[in-house]
Amino acid sequence: MKPAIVVAAAMLALAAPAAAQEAKSFKSWSALCDNLKTCTAFGYTDEAADTHGFVRLVRAAGPNAPARVTLRTETEDGDDGKRPLAWSVSVDGHVPPGLQAVATTGTDEERRAELSPAQAAALIAAVRNGSQLTLAGGKAPITLSLAGSSAALLWIDDRQGRVGTVTALAAKGARPASAVPAAPAAPVVRAAPAISQAGLPTRAPKAILDNPKLKDCDDPGAKSEDTTIARLGAHQILWGVPCSAGAYNLLSVLFVSDEAGRGAREIVPPDAEPNNPDADDELMNINYDPETRTLTAFAKARGIGDCGEAATWVWDGQGFRLLDETVMGQCQGVVSDDWPSLYHAVRAPG
């Protein structure tokens, strides 16, 4: 078993996912594509800047998928956020069409803008040959380096089969949009019907706590109030036993057994990287919802939760199936809602 700080660091090793998932860094920019070839690119402000921010571009695969662009900033020196604020977005001093007054939401401490498709296209066209992106309109201009942006966009074009087509972000050509491959079909997962949780045990039995898989834990089961206990089926109880804890992560090992702990088997939900040598059998900050049959884990690489990994699985009656997984390898103030997709499946209705 790894201590919390080591596991948190291991989550950042997802900078090189295998098989269907790919990621790469390009100077000040990074890019990642998931199993459906939905790709995300990020550019960041300098770490030493007083105001931090990022530009985020997301594009699904397929001929007609538009590029979606988000701009976000965070500063400790803002106002109360009650006044409206619009950004003038420029690249190397030139304001692309439609970006003279980009509406924002939030406060001056945390501002964001979701660009329209036309605004996104204008910004991407300017970024391809630019060196610096500037957001003006707040107390002080905010700058983001564009070093590596063209390479990141070209990499996405290549992964999505857009190079040489009219849909490309960086490598435009004369070939029509119809030449772009369709997005891969999403895997489908189906949840088992919900089952009553009445009469659950209140703590893990000795047979579970004495399991050899817990022998290297700091103090398994000591925090009994943090043990996850849920009924998965007839004589099938899920035990999420706390193994060790850090300042902001609680690591648990999962078992399934009967109510007394007989026939216990360890459960290791599948990862987007099935052959990842850094994979571990402990999950961080888990939660199980018996109504939706979903298990979630959120691994924070640092306390504010702006980097790490998050995943959701669905219990289908036989095991946990991966529904989605997101990852953020750079600790640059990106909230978890903005983390790029590493894996995505579709939940079947019912």
The residues spanned by each domain of the chain are 21-179, 188-347
* 151 alpha-carbon distance from chain centroid: 22
Instruction: State the residue for tokens 């057994």.
Output: 257
Task: Return the percent helix, strand and coil in the chain, to nearest 5.
Answer: 15, 35, 50
Averages of pLDDT over each 10 residues, the chain, 350 residues: 35 37 89 97 86 93 97 71 79 97 87 95 95 89 94 97 97 96 97 96 92 85 78 96 87 95 94 65 93 96 90 97 94 91 93
Residues 6+ apart with CB under 8 A from 61: 36, 37, 38, 39, 160, 161, 180, 181, 182, 183, 184
Instruction: Give residue 109's pLDDT.
Output: 78
How is residue 84 written in tokens? 């409206």
Instruction: Give residue 280's pLDDT.
Output: 65
Instruction: Give residue 223's pLDDT.
Output: 57
How is residue 327 written in tokens? 């990852």
Residue 299 burial by Cβ neighbours in a 10 Å radius (0-12, 13-18, 19+): buried
Instruction: Give residue 18's pLDDT.
Output: 35
Instruction: Give residue 172's pLDDT.
Output: 95
Instruction: Give residue 349's pLDDT.
Output: 87
3-state secondary structure 181-192: CCCCCCCEECCC
User: CA dist 214 to 70, 97, 207, 329, 348, Å?
Assistant: 44, 60, 11, 29, 35
Instruction: Give residue 77's pLDDT.
Output: 57
Instruction: Give residue 336's pLDDT.
Output: 92
Instruction: Please give the full DSSP string across 193-221, using - where no structure is assigned.
Output: PP---TT--SS--HHHHT-GGGTTSSSTT
Instruction: Give residue 91's pLDDT.
Output: 98
Any idea of the CA torsion for 191, 343, 58, 15, to the nearest 10 degrees? 150
Q: Which residues pair with 70 in a beta bridge?
A: 56, 114
Q: Which residues pair with 71 in a beta bridge?
A: 55, 113
Instruction: Give residue 264's pLDDT.
Output: 96
How is residue 349 written in tokens? 């209705």
